[in-house]
Amino acid sequence: MYCFYDASLTITQYMRVIMSAKEEIRKLGWKIRYVPHEIIQDFNACYRVKYKEKIIYPPAADRLNIPLNEIWLSERLREYEEYVLFHELREIMYRYRGYDIEEAHLRARIDEAKRFCSEPKWIRYFEEFPDYSVPLRCLKELCEAIRSGIETSNTLFKILVKCIKDQKEVAGL
């Protein structure tokens, strides 16, 4: 079975053969730690990991003092663990490839949508724990694009970025 760090796979191939995110995290030697929601409520999840000799983490990891090789999740996210861990693994992969934190986050969200849009529980996750950088309306629009047959990540990225921009304009931001 292919694993997370096989860079020769396309995203579609990867998604067909991916093992569970939790299993992959364990294989990589990283620890999953559930923390009180109050500690991580502004982020829901965060990480600091060493991957192929590169230490990868978002700025929030410094504020939260996350130790090396740990992924932190709010204790309230247990029910949605599969989605959160999948997203964090994909974001780490994009960061390793050189994407900045914002683009890595959005591209990971697209991969997540490709994999989970058909699951109503995935949308409920965002209703309960909003991703303030990606409005729920934009996630739903992304899912519609995927269901309509759009598969290329770059096209989906453009759709998502445009929707986010439009939502900010509507909100007057």
Which pLDDT band, with edges at 50, 70 and 90, does 2 fall under?
Answer: very low
What angle is formed at CA 101 by the lines to CA 99 and CA 106, rounded to 5 degrees? Answer: 85
Provide the pLDDT for residue 19.
59
* 46 touches 58 (CB < 8 A): yes
Model's pTM, two decimal places?
A: 0.86
Neighbours of 160 (CB within 10 A): 21
Domain locations along the chain = 11-171
Q: Tens digits of per-residue pLDDT, 30-86? A: 999 999 999 998 888 999 999 999 999 999 999 999 999 999 999 999 999 999 999
